[in-house]
Amino acid sequence: MRAISGLWRWRRNPLRRGTDLAEAWLAFLALLLILVLGPVIGSFTGHAAQDALQRSVREQQDSRRLVTATVIRKLDRSPLDVDPEATSGRSPRTRVVADWTAPDGTSRHGAVMAGLQTPHRGDHFDLWTDLHGSIAARPLDSATATTHAVLAGAGAALLTAALIEGGRRFAVWRMVRRRYARWDQAWDRAGPDWGRTGTGS
């Protein structure tokens, strides 16, 4: 809006300099680019991210299975153990030794994180594995993938707007520097006699 009002203000102003009009047109052009390019680039990035993430969702859901594991015994939690789901608002998880049957039919045994607050021998819990029974992370779900894609699109649109605005500010800075340089040259031409009465008479 400032760009449009700037153009209107300088339209017939007798004090208008060429650089004033150039700055107003530059601001107007930057505004148009932000309003047009920002959404286009954001939409393109969001769609590309959505396609890639949904493909990843399908691949993970095809290659991972939810199996039932049985607690053998509880393990003391090491301070170095990191549970990636502990901060995600899900139920508390405990480290246990468990047995489970892999999707390919083989029996597996090992230390895993169980979604049980107080596990006891013989308790059952769900466990994500790959097709061979090795522990795997929970597959990405479609809603989370869509959220990431929307955030990627919004980020790309904001980055585009920031780059355009940065380019506009740099161009204005260069114009102002040139204007100051011309003022310095004019002052140099005026010389030391500027302001003295009777100079040149």
Least confident of 18-27, 46-55, 68-77, 108-117: 18-27
Contact assessment for residue 146 and residue 154, using Cβ atoms and an 8 Å cutoff: no
pTM of the predicted model as reported, rounded to 2 decimal places:
0.65
Distances (CA, A) of 111 to 16, 64, 72, 105, 144: 77, 19, 10, 19, 28
67-102: pLDDT as tens digits? 999 999 988 765 445 555 544 445 567 889 999 999
